[in-house]
Amino acid sequence: MLFSRANTELVPPDRALGGRADYTFAVPDVSAVSGNPIKPPFPAELQTALFGLGCFWGAEEIFWQTPGVWTTAVGYTGGYTPHPNYEEVCSGQTGHTEAVLVVYDPDQVSYEQLVAV
């Protein structure tokens, strides 16, 4: 898709897919990788960052390997459709982007270092 002419405009709110009242999947309490919680509240000494990087699976795996990262979670951010699923987000009709939540210890890794990952 390097030279594709994909639409780069966001869907207007009134044309976004309707979505649903709840998630279409179970959201686990802890990360299968770190064993730490993926939902707040997080320990007070930690900070959070949210990265919209396109495909979240590859990006999340890179953060797993970064010293100072306590836990990660993937999902969708922005957008208008309540609780969209993967296919809906990929359709471009929700206004969302794939994102990675990174919970990290700022004494071990800085935000600037995470951005450089």
Q: Would you please indicate which residues are annotated as catalytic (active-site) residues?
A: 55
**Would you say the C-alpha torsion 19, 24, 27, 31 has a positive or negative sign?**
negative
In sequence order, the 6+-apart residues with CB closer than 8 A to the CB of 112 are none
Token pair for 54: 């396109």
Kindly tell me the burial class for residue 92, based on how many C-beta atoms sit within 10 Å of its own C-beta (0-12, 13-18, 19 or more).
middle
Q: Which helix (H) or strand (E) holds 74?
A: strand 69-78
Residue 60 near residue 31 (C-beta atoms within 8 A) = no
Q: What is the DSSP letter of 45?
A: T
